[in-house]
Structure 1
Amino acid sequence: MLEKEFQVSRLIALYFRGALSAAQEHELNLWLAASKSNRAYFDSLSSEQQLSLELKTYENIKNTTKDEVWNMTLSKLEAGKEWSTKKTPGQVNVLKLRWQKRILVAASILLILGIAITFYERRAETSQNDISQNDVTAGSNKAYITLADGKTITLNGNKSGVIISGSNLNYNDGSAVAAPTSGEAKPFEAQFLTITIPLGGQYQIKLGDGTLVYLNAGSSLKYPLSFSGANRNVVLRGEAYFEVAKDKTHPFVVKTKGQEVQVLGTHFNVNSYDDEPVIKTTLLEGVVKVVSQAHKDVILNPGEQSAVYPAGRINVKTVDTASAVAWKNGDFVFNGDDLKSVMKQLARWYNVEVSYEGNIGNIGFVSTISRSRKLSEVLNALEMTKGVHFKIEGRRILVMP
């Protein structure tokens, strides 16, 4: 990440020592001509006071000029060398000459490091300003319900969930959800309802059988007011975490675009976004049966995750279940997630688009970040861990090398 900064710093250090070659001088001049800020910063280093301030930040140098910085470095290194009193004057002089060369190298490194760190921190500060200039707040409680006749009800964003009670729909604090026509609470006659969570939202719903469902951004769940028949069927798009009420005689079935999950009573997470290459089901408690559209099936035990591919193939592996449901608990948890996977999660939660610029290699992120933080704060945290940079332009994240 710092290779370029160190190369420029080396050229500046050689300039101060009067040791630039013709090729190095040309390279430094190209850097100076590339930006007014480069020239301004270089000119500021010509001031003894400014250079002293730059180096003082990292070496606690106070009230020193450039010459004093060099002399201080020399004296510190010489003080750390034990000169033997048994050596002859000639031997001592040879030792001094050798150590003076090493001291000069160390002093050069000190100057290079001081300038390089300053460059890097100024670059990081500029990047942070670019990121935070057009900041985006975190997602919040947002959802709407679509009735069988197509009418919609926008749910209260100050509430975190709804509960089905008989033919009534209430918020989790007990207050009634208003019907779309009169604005007054009344029984809902539609057999099937659909709760939709827009991008930048999340919501909970407690179904008629007592099953609790947490829905992530960009998701929807189609469900009946009351379950009837042999199975308790719901249809999911996107991502949801289920805490299924136990009923051994009526299996709970979650249908998605490419699979079914069949359970009797358990806790599990399903990620079935349309823009993801596989459908992932992660089991936390109990036992579930995952059936692909190719009629292949597997039984999951707690701690296992299935991945259903478009052709119907199913893979199973042991995973960190806490990571799979971190979104429900208010966190982003990345355990080696690649850049595009991370950006998809941010795009859904912050309701933004993502575009890429330049050649960005394969990058894996390992981090835990609160979903309550502003977008700029999340991006700054990611920048600190990997060689990638971000810029917010309206409701778009620009990803750069």
Structure 2
Amino acid sequence: MDKGFEIADIIVAFIKGDATPEQIVRLDEWQNESDENKRLFVSLLDETNFDLQVRVRKELNIEKAFNQVKSRKRTHDRRFKRVWQLSLVASLALLVVVSSVMLYKGREAGVKSEIDQGVISGGTNKALLTLSTGKQILLDKQDTLLQSDITRIRVASDKGVTYESIDGDSLIQLAYNTMEIPPRAEFQLVLSDGTKVWLNAGSKLRYPERFVGDERQVELNGEAYFDVVHDEKAPFIVKTSRSTITVLGTEFGVRDYEGKANLTTLVQGRVAVCDSMNKSYVIYPGQQVIIDERGTTVEDVETAYFTSWKDGYFTFNQATLGDIMDELSQWYDFDCFFTNTTVTNLRLTARLKKYDDINVLLDILSDTGDVCFSRKGRAITVTEISR
């Protein structure tokens, strides 16, 4: 197959979302061959430019255009043969891509979903509460009052869940609840001791309905921010898959998503973090414990970059674009595709509002001049712009 037509077929498959991993690798190699290839590919992904090409294509006769290109090619000196062949490849690729995608769009027009024309908004307050009895309750905007033998549970649309101990009741054993936060959601709760917890998307917290004894222990998967009520007689303990955090009374954030570094970020007070090797690290405000495949380290950080999510912001400081899009996709629930591997490692600094439409956030990121984004429904493609 002619190289131009091969690349054209791959680009068509990529735009349709049908490209194989091998085709994506081949597309990456082709883009890296020249800046012209990169510019051509970016222009094809640009929605406005694409629509213009489609309108022009409707007035073209492919066979006539092909013959004209061949005729013009014969008039050039052999010294320019290779250069003209590259131009021919680009021209044919453009014709084939525009023609094929136009037909594809035509076939899909009748079943195009509303989301293609609409916005992708941010998440909302939502959680799944599993009581100690096994009963599951979906918590959203509706105010609810639940009560067990030992605890009164208030669900308020503006304040999340509050646990209130019922005085005078004896407790034989701890009764645990579990709160799970789906993608595109977050939730708040107040534990029975008054400790406030903010849970981020894709997180799970297991905790007793009422704390008893000489410690207050919860288990976390995902990300949470804790504002712990001081109690010298009963330290507050957060257990994750790779760490155990012990505090008396303080504010701190914990992140423990699968496949990512385990982070404990201290805002106020003092905490001790014990890793899986049973080595303990005491940190102070403005410090962070990082546990990853390299081991455990302590660093000084600007805490807002790791805790502003609870206040309605995404804050990134020289974060890789891959990490940024990964975090945004968890909140906005979209699929992200990168046109080459290098674009994922671009580093950006930004402060974004969580409840803005995704297009607003993408415009801010693209203002850096390093990347551009194209969106079709809930699929977002990221392309690096050559300078």
Question: What is the TM-score of this pair, normalised by structure 2?
Answer: 0.64
The one-letter code of the counterpart of 1:204 is Q
Per-residue deviation, 1:381: 1.9
Unaligned runs of at least 5 residues, structure 1: 9-19, 40-130, 178-188
Q: Which residue of 2 aligns with 1:290?
A: 273
Q: 2:208 aligns with which of 221, 224, 236?
A: 224
Taking the aligned partners of 1:376 and 1:132, their CA distance within structure 2 comes to 12
Indicate the RMSD between aligned Cα atoms, in angstroms: 3.7
Per-residue deviation, 1:209: 0.3
Per-residue deviation, 1:33: 5.4
Taking the aligned partners of 2:211 and 2:243, their CA distance within structure 1 comes to 21
Taking the aligned partners of 1:392 and 1:320, their CA distance within structure 2 comes to 33
The one-letter code of the counterpart of 1:236 is L
Q: 2:243 aligns with which of 259, 262, 272?
A: 259
The one-letter code of the counterpart of 2:250 is T
Per-residue deviation, 1:25: 7.6
Q: Which residue of 2 aligns with 1:90?
A: none
Structure with higher Rg: it is 1
Q: Which residue of 1 aligns with 2:124?
A: 140
Q: Which residue of 2 aligns with 1:322?
A: 304
Taking the aligned partners of 1:365 and 1:159, their CA distance within structure 2 comes to 40
Taking the aligned partners of 2:380 and 2:209, their CA distance within structure 1 comes to 40
Is 1:342 the equivalent of 2:324?
Answer: yes
Q: Which residue of 2 aligns with 1:50?
A: none
Distance 1:360 1:136, change over 3 A: same
Number of residue-to-residue matches in the alignment: 285
Q: Which residue of 1 aligns with 2:140?
A: 156
Q: Which moved more, 1:347-356 or 1:250-259?
A: 347-356
Taking the aligned partners of 2:301 and 2:86, their CA distance within structure 1 comes to 50
Is 1:391 the equivalent of 2:377?
Answer: no
Q: 1:211 aligns with which of 191, 195, 216?
A: 195
Identity of aligned residues (%): 32
Q: 2:180 aligns with which of 196, 199, 204?
A: 196
Taking the aligned partners of 2:217 and 2:224, their CA distance within structure 1 comes to 15
Distance 1:270 1:369, change over 3 A: same
C-alpha contact 1:141 1:159 (8 A) present in aligned 2: no
Correspondences of 1:117-136 after superposition (within 5 Å): 133=117, 135-136=119-120
Taking the aligned partners of 2:287 and 2:121, their CA distance within structure 1 comes to 34
CA-to-partner distance for each residue in 1:81-136, whole Å, 9 max, x for gaps?
xxxxxxxxxxxxxxxxxxxxxxxxxxxxxxxxxxxxxxxxxxxxxxxxxx975642
C-alpha contact 1:142 1:156 (8 A) present in aligned 2: yes
Q: Which residue of 2 aligns with 1:128?
A: none
Taking the aligned partners of 2:176 and 2:328, their CA distance within structure 1 comes to 31
Unaligned runs of at least 5 residues, structure 2: 1-34, 41-75, 99-114, 162-172
C-alpha contact 2:193 2:229 (8 A) present in aligned 1: yes
Residue aligned with 1:323, SS:
helix
CA-to-partner distance for each residue in 1:208-256, whole Å, 9 max, x for gaps?
0000000110001111111012110000110000000000110000000
Distance 1:264 1:32, change over 3 A: same
C-alpha contact 1:134 1:393 (8 A) present in aligned 2: no
Residue aligned with 2:210, SS:
coil
Per-residue deviation, 1:272: 0.6
